[in-house]
Amino acid sequence: MIVVRSLIFTLLFYLWSAAVAIFSVPVLWFAPRGWAVAVMRFWSRTVVGLLYPICDVKVEMRGLQHLPRGRAFVAAKHQCMFDTMAPLSAFPDAAFVMKRELMSIPVYGWYTQKTEMIVIDREANAKALRQMLIDTRARLAEGRQIVIFPEGHRMAPGADADYKPGVAGIYRDLGMPCIPMATNSGVHWPAHGFLRHPGTIVYEFLEPIPPGLHRGEFMRVLQERIETASTALMRE
């Protein structure tokens, strides 16, 4: 039954995504950026709406009291592609830090460009970090929410954490609290394959880490909070 449900959801997901992309193309060319943000949030909410009746997968947001409605800096656990979709409903105007390779995906790449996500070229090393900090400050000045996945890529549930230093660079540069976000998404929406396992995907915003910590201490606290909370969610 899980296989059948997952196949139906996957088919509807791609058909619906294609339909939204095609019918909203004028937004990319003629409308303000805010319209594109609204389209992406609408798309994410409908995908979440399809998950429960078809795959018996609910989505729950916790700890929203820790997330300001305006400027914010969020460091999130990343277990599957759903992590770039479902949380959109929690952010008024998020700017995700994403790798340049994703820009080559048809339509999706166009929308990330239109919505002015923070794109990094990981092969550029120090230059990439400098440009990321410039773009982060610019997006934050617009009152947006900066979202970064500290591990840089999807990690399977239970895999050893590998936090990259970019998140510490942003934390130091911005001088503002960092809000960790934990999840168990990979348990129900694996990083690879099409199976969607019944249960509840939880995105939990944790108590903010205050500014001013030294780099090593910040990385230790960030990883400890995210990994501890994510492990607890996976055991529920």
pLDDT band at residue 124 under the 50/70/90 scheme: low
> Is the distance from CB of 191 to CB of 40 less than 8 angstroms?
no
Mean pLDDT throughout 214-229? 97
> Is the distance from CB of 197 to CB of 187 less than 8 angstroms?
yes
> Is the distance from CB of 66 to CB of 181 less than 8 angstroms?
no
Mean pLDDT across the chain, nearest whole number? 92
pLDDT at 128 over 80: no
**Token digits for 199?**
């249960």
- The pLDDT assigned to 103 comes to 78
Query: What does pTM read for this prediction?
Result: 0.93
Q: What percent of the chain has pLDDT over 70?
A: 98
pLDDT at 220 over 70: yes
* Higher per-residue confidence, 110 vs 172: 172
pLDDT at 163 over 90: yes
Radius of gyration for the alpha carbons in the chain, expressed in angstroms and rounded: 17
Distance of alpha carbon 126 from alpha carbon 19, whole angstroms: 40
Distance of alpha carbon 68 from alpha carbon 216, whole angstroms: 26
Distance of alpha carbon 88 from alpha carbon 127, whole angstroms: 29
What type of residue sits at position 208? P
Q: Write down the domain spans for the chain.
A: 2-234
Q: What percent of the chain has pLDDT over 90?
A: 69
Mean pLDDT throughout 133-140? 94
Torsion, Cα 101 107 108 111, to 10 degrees, reads: 110
* Higher per-residue confidence, 102 vs 223: 223
Distance of alpha carbon 195 from alpha carbon 105, whole angstroms: 23
- The pLDDT assigned to 66 comes to 96
Topology annotation, domain 2-234: Glycerol-3-phosphate (1)-acyltransferase (3.40.1130)
pLDDT at 102 over 80: no
- The pLDDT assigned to 28 comes to 84
pLDDT, tens only, 21-79 = 888 888 888 899 999 999 989 999 999 999 999 999 999 999 999 999 899 999 999 99
Q: What stretch of H or E contains 13?
A: helix 2-23
Could you tell me the CA-to-CA distances from 175 to 88, 108, 180 in Å, in that order? 24, 32, 15
The dihedral sign for the CA sequence 187, 189, 193, 195: positive
pLDDT, tens only, 165-213 = 899 999 999 999 999 999 999 999 998 888 999 999 999 999 999 999 9
Give the ranges where 147-199 is alpha helix by DSSP (H). 166-174, 185-188
